[in-house]
Every structure is written in structure tokens, then in C-alpha cells.
Amino acid sequence: MDSINTLGKNARRAETVLSGASAEAKNAALTALAKALCEKSDFILSENAVDIENGRRAGLSESLLDRLALNPERINGIAQGVRELADAPDPIGRISEGSVRPNGLKISKITVPLGVIAVIYEARPNVTADAASLCLKAGSAAILRGGKEAINSNRAIADVMREAIAAAGLPADCIQLVEDTSRESATALMRLNEYIDLLIPRGGAGLIRSVVENSTVPVIETGVGNCHIYVDASADLDMAADIIFNAKTSRPSVCNACEKVLLHRDIAPAAFEKIKARLDEKNVKILGDEAICAMSADVSPASQEDWEREFLDYIIAIKVVNDIDAAIAHIGEYGTKHSEAIITSDYDSSEKFLARVDAAAVYVNASTRFTDGGEFGYGAEIGISTQKLHARGPLGLSQLTSFKYIIRGNGQIR
């Protein structure tokens, strides 16, 4: 597609300028961008109203409309996030290793921008500003392709941001929006190896699968979290119930929410009673294996597919396991390598779980909801990586960089 190719070329050209920009210049652009988002919020809100109106007419669900909707507080929140980024330490030019080799060569390993980062996401206009400003701070040009339902909002936000950073002296093309929201434009992005260094899909399992299947550009998978909490035989059952209640109900639509609970058979009935009492407070629908179904008439049987999927809703599935090994094996089979937790008071169980569960974040006696850039102390993030290459867990500023070796010599030959 010509238009996508042009975006790629523009991004590459902008990136060569941006990668040489000082931290001061980038921070000034971010500050200007935050200011512009607030000053032009009426324009952004009026464009957003068009998307909301179209969405209502198209029959979008209330929860989708809620994600799509902007208001003055949300815009202020976005701008505040951008201002915090401006204040954050610059991730570029850090020397992470260095040595003088026996032959006198001085080698430094130094962080550099990735170059051009493309983000494909769904109908959440806040991502347009969040992703663009993170990429800018990380010294990379951003190509953004949001969902078609948010196109008017995204175009407005992108225009405001482009104008602001151009006025601040950086190329407007550091931020570009793909206005063509067809499937073809997404596919073209996925094959644009010449101009894109990293593609991040941010959204549901279907989007991510499609990107992994079709992309020749390097991808970081994000966001699918079929997270488990295993309650060990030795667990403090009140703590278990509190953590499961928090991990399921504090924000059910996010990827670090708990979707599955595994109960050691020795404490299963007592644990189930306490957990169910808490979950009932929020009318969480409980699915279960045979043993759990036998404990309460309120429980429906979980299907094979239920064990595999994210509910992202007030639904949870609970299963009884024979021991910690069975719990670890179940997580190995159904987990998505996002966040997994054990509730235990036994030292050996805690160490075994931490060592043997393969996920970005493995917890003892804490809620899976902490897998988050802010909670880890890394600041803003563009998503949670569930793959093992390059970045795992919160994809913050320092994960959005690459590095190079610079080597100073005085005539060395080999």
C-alpha cells in the first residue's frame, strides 16, 4: 500500500532527527504537547462526540462506548501523564556496560532509540496520546493505527500533538496516524520491515494472534492475561480470599486481573467458602470443575474453553488440584505467561512456585494486579509483554530502547 509506505518513509526521516535530539528538546516537545491537549480539549471532545454518536448508532456496547469516551478529566489525566513523562529520566545514551579490552579497545554498550515503533490498538483514544508520547521520549517515531470506531478522536488528538511538537522544533512526523482503518492497512504495516523496527499490538487475543501470524516486522506480544492464583495447603485463607477478591474485582477488564483459582484439595472446601463469600459481594459468577460444582448450587461447570480464555468480566473459574505440582502443571498448560500467584505460608512451596512457573511476573502472597509499570516503579508503559524476547512484563521507557556498542581504538587490527 502506497500510503502506508509513505508513512514509513516519513517516520524514518523523522526518526533520524529525533534520535539526535537532546533530552531537553524532547521534554520541551512533550510539555508543549500536554499543554496543547488541554488547550484544544474542546476540539478533541467535539470530534470524540462524533465517534460516540456513530458508535451508538452502530450498536456498540456500553463498555466499549465507555472506553471510547473522553471528557475534560480524562484529557487532563492524559496530559498529566505526558507531563510526568517529560519529567522522567531520559532512557537514551545510558552506558550499561563498558570495559577496556587487553588490546586497548574501549568498548561501551549504550542505549539508543529503537527507531520506528508501530502500535496497532483498538478503540481507545487515550492510547493515541499515551503511545505517541512514550515513543517520543524513547527517541522513536510512532506510527499509530487505532480502531475505526475512534478515528475522529484519534485524528483530532494526532493533529493537536503533531502541531505542538512541530512548533517545539521536532518533526511533526515523529507522530503519524494511519487514517485508513481497513484490514489492509494493518496488514501492510505488519510487512513494512524496511521502515518499522518494532510492532506492538495492544488489544484482545484476536488482534494479537493476527499480528503474530502475519507480521514479518519484529513484534512484542502484549496483554493477554489468563492469570491464576493458586491457594496452597498452608495458605492463610483470609489472605487468599482478600487477594482473590482484589485480583478479580478491582478492575475485571484488565490483563492482570485474576481469571482462575486453583485450590489445594486439603483446604478446598474451607477456602472455597471464604472466597465465594467475598466474590458474592460483587456478584461474581463462579464456574468450577466437578469438585467445586459439588460444593455449591451457585456454581456452573467450566468448559475446556473456559480454562483457556480470559473472561475480562465478573466471572471466575475455580478448580481443585491434588498438590502444588498439579497447580504448576495446570498453569504451564493454560497460562499466558503474564502474572501468576501462589498464596502460601510454606517456604518450600513459595520457592518452588517462583522457580518453576514461567511468567513475566510470579507472585507470592500478593495480587496479580500489581503487574504494571507504575506499580513496579517504572512509570508509564505501553502494555505488558507476554513474550520472552527483548522485554517481559511492563513495557516502559527503558524497554522501548535498543543499544549499540561504541568502540574507540587507536589503530587496532585483529
Residues engaged in binding a second copy (CB under 8 A): 16, 19-20, 99, 101, 105, 107, 112, 114-115, 193, 197-198, 212-213, 216, 218-220, 236, 239, 242-243, 245-247, 250, 332, 350, 354-356, 358-367, 369-371, 375-377, 387-390, 392-393, 402-414
d(CA 343, CA 366): 8
Written as one string, the DSSP assignment of 283-340 is T-EEEE-HHHHTT-TTPEEPPHHHHHS---SSEEEEEEESSHHHHHHHHHHH--SSEE
Minimum separation from the CB atom of position 205 to a second copy (A): 14
Helix (H) or strand (E) holding 48: helix 41-57
Minimum separation from the CB atom of position 194 to a second copy (A): 11
Least gap, CB of 145 to a second copy (angstroms): 20
Q: Which is nearer to a second copy, 32 or 244 (CB)?
A: 244
Closer residue to a second copy (CB): 204 or 374: 374
* Residue 54 vs 345, nearer CB to a second copy: 345
| Residue number, 297 or 413, with CB nearest to a second copy | 413
Rg of the chain, C-alpha, whole Å = 24
The residue among 55 and 335 lying less far from a second copy, judged by its C-beta, is: 335
Nearer to a second copy, 168 or 360 (CB): 360
Minimum CB–partner distance for residue 93 and a second copy (Å): 9
Between CA 409 and CA 133 the distance in angstroms is: 37
Residue with Cβ nearer a second copy (113 or 146)? 113
Contact 342, 350 (CB under 8 A): yes
Would you say 36 or 142 has its CB closer to a second copy?
142
Minimum gap (Å) between residue 109 Cβ and a second copy? 8
How many alpha carbons lie under 13 Å from residue 82 in its C-beta half-sphere? 32
From CA 135, how far away is CA 147, in angstroms rounded? 19
- Cβ proximity to a second copy, 187 vs 387, nearer residue: 387
Q: Which is nearer to a second copy, 55 or 373 (CB)?
A: 373
The angle formed by the CA atoms of residues 197, 25 and 140, to the nearest 5 degrees, is: 5
- Locate cell 451508538: which residue? 56
- Placement of cell 492463610 in the chain: 236
DSSP H helices, 123-260, are 125-137, 151-167, 183-190, 205-214, 237-249
State in angstroms the smallest separation of the CB of 27 from a second copy.
19
Nearest distance, CB of residue 364 and a second copy, angstroms: 5
* CA neighbor of 138 nearest in space, from 407, 373, 388, 338: 373
Give the nearest distance from C-beta 390 to a second copy in angstroms.
Answer: 4
Q: Nearer Cβ to a second copy, position 126 or 399?
A: 399
Look at residues 411, 340, 17 and name the one whose alpha carbon lies nearest to residue 175: 17
- Rounded to whole angstroms, how far apart are CA atoms 206 and 217? 18
Which residues are CB-contacts of 65 (< 8 A; sequence separation ≥ 6)? 52, 55, 56
CB of 246 to a second copy, least distance (A): 4
Q: How many CB atoms lie within 10 A of CB 228?
A: 28
DSSP label at residue 266: T
The CA distance from 256 to 316, in Å, is 13
- Residues 281, 287, 290, 292, Cα dihedral to 10°: -20
CB of 356 to a second copy, least distance (A): 7
Sign of the CA dihedral running 72, 78, 79, 83: positive
Q: How far apart are CB 60 and a second copy at their closest, in Å?
A: 29
